[in-house]
């Protein structure tokens, strides 16, 4: 139960606004210890990278895997922990698993770690905000980010902080110094943007509640779109969907109406193609929210609501920043509908699974 003296969403709002500072604290701590540089030298060189998560951590894995492959040219993909348990033959014969769990108790993650060890393919790395949790036994190396943990149920700063650390590790492994500098400088660039982004999303949520929320992205921004979709579902109990931007044309656009908010995460790599989808959805009558780094006149013509990140960092390094508008949309929509975003309906911070073979573990709800 929520404390009656606590304002609804108090923790969630504070945690969203703390993200830039939390990123800096996490990265400064790792820089001080030299942990990522040491880790980079010890990582194996053979096999496919498999980023494993559940819920938000799986969507984080989608972005991390995309970034890893873009930067290192090494094969990488994301997989839900449940697929390792239910469809183990989908795993490559030689793989380098990376386990992702905010709490470190995620039951499917722990069971997947057990299975991988039994197959003599133990996880080479795990990342968590927990300390002294079961995940510590399931990987050869652990990155702990306790300063990124949250009091609220849904993942916000833990998601973006763990993502940035994995992206920075990819940059270190690939020797991509420009990308690494972009990750390190993201906090300072994003901090001054928070109030304006907050004001834009608040106006949008105050304006109306939509029957359907759709989120579109490509490449590393597909995972961003997935996470934004989940934030709106979790915090506002709204109907929300996610698609690859160009895939939305192949059937799903049938749902578009004036009661649909379509959010576009526009990339530079696929800009012209994604812009054509934006124009088409606007013509079909959808309300549109566009999140992009720099808006052209054509974007402004089709965007009912616009957020320009205006970040001077490489494209994939903007993913964590691009997640924040989706978090705020879930937060303000939840408040508008009378929910407490700190305590989403039907969710708890860790869910205990009766069917789990791991006695003291649970599953992150976000």
Q: What is the pLDDT of residue 357?
A: 46
Q: What is the pLDDT of residue 359?
A: 34
Domain-by-domain residue ranges, the chain?
Answer: 10-189+344-364, 190-336
Q: What is the pLDDT of residue 342?
A: 92
User: Please, what is the end-to-end C-alpha distance for the chain in angstroms?
Assistant: 18
Q: What is the pLDDT of residue 349?
A: 57
Q: What is the CATH architecture of 190-336?
A: 3-Layer(aba) Sandwich (3.40)
| pLDDT tens, position by position, 23-68 | 999 999 999 999 999 998 889 888 999 999 999 999 999 999 999 9
Residue 363 clears pLDDT 50, i.e. is over it:
no
Residue 141 clears pLDDT 90, i.e. is over it:
yes
* Both tokens assigned to 177: 């110094």
| pLDDT tens, position by position, 176-234 | 999 999 999 999 999 999 999 999 999 999 999 999 999 999 999 999 999 999 999 99
Q: What is the pLDDT of residue 348?
A: 53
**Third-level CATH fold of 10-189+344-364:** Rossmann fold (3.40.50)
Helix (H) or strand (E) holding 79: strand 76-80
Percentage of the chain modeled with pLDDT above 90: 87
Q: What is the mean pLDDT of residues 124-150?
A: 97
Residue 254 clears pLDDT 50, i.e. is over it:
yes
Residue 356 clears pLDDT 80, i.e. is over it:
no
* Both tokens assigned to 260: 């649909």
Question: β-strand 363-364 against 350-351: which pairing, if any?
Answer: antiparallel
Residue 353 clears pLDDT 70, i.e. is over it:
no
Q: What is the pLDDT of residue 85?
A: 95
Q: What is the mean pLDDT of residues 346-356?
A: 56
Give the global pTM.
0.94
Owner of token pair 């957020």 = 307
Report whether 106 contacts 207 (CB < 8 A).
no
Q: What is the pLDDT of residue 4?
A: 53
Better-predicted residue by pLDDT, 364 or 137: 137
Q: What is the pLDDT of residue 358?
A: 35
Residue 82 clears pLDDT 80, i.e. is over it:
yes
Q: What is the pLDDT of residue 364?
A: 42
| pLDDT tens, position by position, 158-178 | 999 999 999 999 999 999 999
Helix (H) or strand (E) holding 77: strand 76-80
| Same fold across 10-189+344-364 and 190-336 | yes
Q: What is the mean pLDDT of residues 316-322?
A: 98
**Least trusted range by pLDDT, from 88-97, 153-162, 187-196, 239-248:** 88-97
Residue 20 clears pLDDT 90, i.e. is over it:
yes
219: left (phi over 0), alpha (psi -120 to 50) or beta: left
Residue 272 clears pLDDT 70, i.e. is over it:
yes
* Both tokens assigned to 128: 């968590």
Q: What is the pLDDT of residue 61?
A: 98
Average pLDDT, the chain: 93
Report whether 11 contacts 151 (CB < 8 A).
yes
Better-predicted residue by pLDDT, 5 or 139: 139
């Amino acid at each position: 139960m929520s404390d009656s003296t606590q304002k609804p969403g108090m923790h969630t709002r504070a945690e969203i606004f703390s993200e830039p500072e939390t990123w800096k604290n996490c990265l400064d701590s790792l820089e001080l210890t030299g942990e990522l540089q040491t880790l980079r030298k010890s990582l194996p060189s053979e096999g496919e990278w498999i980023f494993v998560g559940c819920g938000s951590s799986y969507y984080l894995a989608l972005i991390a895997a995309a970034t890893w492959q873009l930067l290192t040219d090494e094969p990488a993909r994301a997989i839900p922990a449940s697929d390792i348990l239910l469809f183990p033959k989908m795993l490559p014969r030689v793989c380098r698993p990376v386990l992702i769990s905010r709490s470190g108790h995620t039951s499917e993650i722990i069971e997947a770690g057990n299975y991988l060890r039994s197959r003599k393919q133990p996880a080479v790395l795990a990342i968590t905000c927990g300390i002294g949790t079961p995940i510590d036994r399931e990987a050869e190396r652990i990155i702990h980010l306790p300063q990124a943990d949250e009091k609220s149920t849904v993942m916000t700063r833990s998601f973006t902080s763990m993502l940035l650390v994995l992206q920075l590790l990819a940059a270190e492994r690939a020797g991509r110094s420009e990308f690494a500098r972009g990750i390190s400088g993201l906090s300072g660039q994003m901090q001054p943007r928070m109030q304006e982004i907050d004001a834009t999303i608040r106006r949008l949520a105050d304006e109306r509640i939509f029957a359907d929320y759709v989120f579109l992205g490509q490449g590393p921004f597909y995972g961003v779109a997935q996470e934004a979709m989940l934030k709106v579902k979790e915090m506002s109990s709204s109907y929300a969907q996610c698609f690859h931007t160009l895939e939305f044309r192949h059937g799903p656009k049938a749902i578009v109406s004036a009661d649909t908010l379509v959010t576009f995460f526009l990339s530079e790599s696929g800009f012209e193609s994604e812009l054509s989808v934006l124009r088409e959805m606007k013509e079909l009558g959808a309300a549109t929210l566009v999140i992009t780094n720099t808006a052209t006149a054509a974007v402004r013509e089709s965007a009912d609501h616009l957020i320009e990140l205006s970040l001077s960092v490489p494209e994939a390094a903007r993913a964590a920043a691009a997640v924040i508008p989706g978090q705020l949309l879930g937060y303000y929509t939840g408040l508008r509908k009378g929910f407490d975003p700190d305590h989403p309906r039907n969710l708890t911070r860790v869910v205990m699974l009766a069917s789990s073979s791991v006695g003291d573990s649970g599953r992150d709800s976000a």
